[in-house]
Amino acid sequence: MAKQEFIGSYIQSFDEALGGGFPRDHIVLVYGAAGTMKSTLCFNVLYNEVLAGKKGVYISIEQSSLSLLKQMVKMGFDISKVNIEVLNDADDVIKGLTRLQDDEAKKLTIIDFGTIRKQLQGKKAAKNKFGLSGDMVESILSMVQTLAKKKLCDIVVLDSMTALYSLTELKEPRSEIFYLFEFFRDLGITSFVISEENHDTHSSRFGIESYLVDGIVHIMLTERNRKVTRELQIRKMRATDCNNDIFTLEFDSKTKKFKALYGGKMPLV
Ligand SMILES: Nc1ncnc2c1ncn2[C@@H]1O[C@H](COP(=O)(O)OP(=O)(O)OP(=O)(O)O)[C@@H](O)[C@H]1O
Ligand SMILES: [Mg+2]
């Protein structure tokens, strides 16, 4: 059997908990409440893997690329080290995709559906090859397929499933989401899908992604003695001997790196 390859978590001490890292080709659900750093955590993986030679695609359904990049610069990512390409022009998506050369180095492509949708608002006839005014899932599939053909897509972040659900009327969510995930799998893409936590059920919206994905990482905001910390838990990771305990998630503002603290360490005062 071929040796398992891993995608790093780029969270200090967390790869050990994962049993080596995120297995390549896995579909990993990252879910948590608002502001728990879901996007930053996934961008962190993508950015560092791109620096290490992989090709990354960040699909933002709601948040504009400008707002996303502002957050990442604030967190200390040196985005000049990677070759970022933003696709955010509704009239130019196809051209934008065509313009991208095959196998460009250190490429991180951001598909900014937030901005594209804003441009299309009120434009009824704007439907094009990518069905941008129509079926969101189909648009995503076409774009990812084109990028994969150009060898520009080893890892995908889909931010977020929650936004996707709110924009698309999924008649049969389970089979449509299954289809989307299988498509990623068939292309050999490692994917991170973000989902907002449902306050009532403490799971993601339909709860079905949990069964369809290979791995689940939960980020929580936990209050103890009026101190609030972020905590991280691997709830599932197929084919790995992972540690399901809860870690404290910290961001070291000096080194600009995430770390996972283990062993019931109290929050820093
Ligand atoms: N150094 C920092 N710079 C910027 N934001 C920081 C920093 N440290 C912590 N944060 C927090 O990061 C959070 C935003 O991160 P991010 O956008 O990744 O979260 P999210 O879970 O994706 O949010 P949303 O639910 O809005 O999508 C904010 O709550 C912000 O306070
Ligand atoms: Mg986010």
Residue 230 lies in a domain: no
Given a cut of 90, whether residue 167 has pLDDT beyond it is no
Q: Tell me whether residue 173 is in a domain.
A: yes
State which H helix or E strand residue 216 sits in.
strand 215-224
Whether 198 is in a domain gets the answer yes
In the predicted model, is pLDDT for residue 189 greater than 90?
yes
Q: Is 111 in a helix, a strand, or coil?
A: strand
Q: What percent of the chain shows pLDDT beyond 90?
A: 63
Alpha-carbon distance of 228 to 221, in angstroms, equals: 6
HSE-up of residue 157 (Cα within 13 Å, Cβ side) = 26
Is pLDDT at 133 greater than 50 in this prediction?
no
Q: What is the pLDDT at residue 124?
A: 55
Q: What is the mean pLDDT of residues 228-250?
A: 94
233, 32 contact by CB (below 8 A)? no
CA 214 to ligand 2 centroid distance, Å:
21
Quick one: pLDDT band at residue 226, thresholds 50, 70, 90?
very high
The verdict on residue 248 lying in a domain is: no
Q: Whose CA is nearest to atom 15 of ligand 1?
A: 37
The residue whose two tokens read 């770390």 is 259
Which one-letter amino acid corresponds to residue 267?
A: P
Q: What is the mean pLDDT of residues 41-64?
A: 97
Structural domain of residue 90, as residue ranges? Answer: 25-220
Rounded distance between C-alpha atoms, residue 140 and residue 152, angstroms: 15
- Does the structure show a pLDDT above 50 at 269? no
Helices (H), 80-135: 93-99, 113-120
In this prediction the pTM is: 0.92
Checking DSSP bridges between strand 246-252 and strand 257-261, what pairing results, if any?
antiparallel
Asked if the structure places residue 3 within a domain, the reply is no
Cα of 35 to ligand 1 centre, how many Å?
A: 5
pLDDT the model gives residue 3: 83
CA of residue 4 to ligand 1 center, whole Å: 32
DSSP H or E stretch at residue 66: helix 65-74
E strand or H helix at 137, and its extent?
helix 136-149
170: CATH:
3.40.50.300
pLDDT per position as a tens digit, 93-108:
777 888 888 999 999 9
List all residues 6 or more positions away from 244 whose beta carbon is below 8 Å from its beta carbon: 233, 234, 235
Name every protein residue with a CB atom under 6 angstroms from any ligand 1 atom: 34-40, 71, 74-75, 251, 253
DSSP 155-194: EEEEE-HHHHHHHS--SSHHHHHHHHHHHHHHTT-EEEEE
Does residue 208 register a pLDDT over 80?
A: no
* Backbone CA torsion sign across 240, 46, 25, 115: positive
Per-residue pLDDT, 202: 60
Statement: residue 123 has pLDDT above 70: no
Domain count across the chain: 1
Ligand in closest contact with the CA of 43: 1
